[in-house]
Amino acid sequence: MFSPTDAEQRLQALWGKRTLIAGVLNVTPDSFYDGGRFFTPSDALRQAERMISEGADILDIGGESSRPGADPVPLEEELRRVIPVIETLSQQVDTLISIDTYKAEVARQALRAGAHIVNDISAMRADSAMCQVVAEAGAYVILMHMQGEPRTMQKNPTYANVTREVLDHLLQQADQAMEAGVPRHKIWLDPGIGFGKTLEHNLELLRNLRLFCETGFRVMIGASRKSFIGRLLGDLPPEERLEGALATLALAIAQGVDIVRAHDVQASVRTARIADAIVRGV
């Protein structure tokens, strides 16, 4: 099992050399693309092994769908879905593990089970104990912007200046995390594509990713197969959005993004390697 120190050494060795790929592993029955496909522990473990073989640097494991309109999952059910998978993976694989949750207790138990990173779609707003949990564990945290909550976030998202408002919010939450004892280098920012944003908001954020990267924080983007890609391609379903996701990935890397969250690991790794060769010279 990786300790927090091992995880930090691994990440420090990778930063700047290439874009990191976080493989999405939803242990849920209702996620927008892979819901139900990896719901059983055995299916989840097989998919994890496949993503690792395809080059995933991080496994991002979630037990509650955050698709637009999704209902919350009770704490005990979320724990039942994710903890056995994390416990098994932490003993069997040599890969960094992220827990995708906004609940402090899920994060606490996941970190004890072997996770190294907390991916919080609420940027630590949903649960006031999250900062303390992350700080005490010595974990990394991904602060994502979301307007509203998954159940209501797409009903009428409104901004005066979406880039400025999202960036200011994330920097405010990063300050809060640092005040709680989370080191600056362990805080990553995610503008939250598709989380309380219209098509135009998403495109504006993607055009301005460089501003997020210029803050000095590591930046993650999660646009894999999302609905804005489907809309741009004539309302294609999630199953037909791969090319759009890869185009978004390459353009994000060109602006300095460090981590990409992806359902399609092999295709994303290959795309990132070409983009890295052009942009980073590696």
86: amino acid identity, one letter: I
**pLDDT tens digit string along 200-258?**
999 999 999 999 999 999 999 999 999 999 999 999 999 999 999 999 999 999 999 99
Mean pLDDT, all residues of the chain? 91
In the predicted model, what is the mean pLDDT of residues 149-178? 90
Least Cα distance to 193 among 231, 160, 229, 158 occurs for 229
Q: What is the CATH number of the domain that holds 24?
A: 3.20.20.20
Interacting residues of 281 by C-beta distance below 8 A, sequence separation 6+? none
What gap in Å lies between CA 224 and CA 24, rounded to an integer? 9
Confidence check: pLDDT of 39 > 70: no
What's the pLDDT band for 280 if we cut at 50, 70, 90? confident
**pLDDT tens digit string along 19-33?**
999 999 988 775 544
Q: Which residue has the higher pLDDT, 32 or 64?
A: 64
What gap in Å lies between CA 193 and CA 30, rounded to an integer? 19
State the pLDDT at residue 32.
46
Q: Which residue has the higher pLDDT, 282 or 91?
A: 91
What gap in Å lies between CA 105 and CA 53, rounded to an integer? 31
State the pLDDT at residue 153.
67
Least Cα distance to 76 among 109, 41, 98, 114 occurs for 109
Confidence check: pLDDT of 77 > 80: yes
Least Cα distance to 35 among 59, 64, 12 occurs for 64
Domain tally for the chain?
1
State the pLDDT at residue 112.
96
Catalytic residues: 226, 261
Confidence check: pLDDT of 182 > 80: yes
| CA angle, residues 280, 50, 31, in degrees to nearest 5 | 90
What gap in Å lies between CA 245 and CA 224, rounded to an integer? 5
User: Which residue segment(s) compose the domain that 209 sits in?
Assistant: 4-279
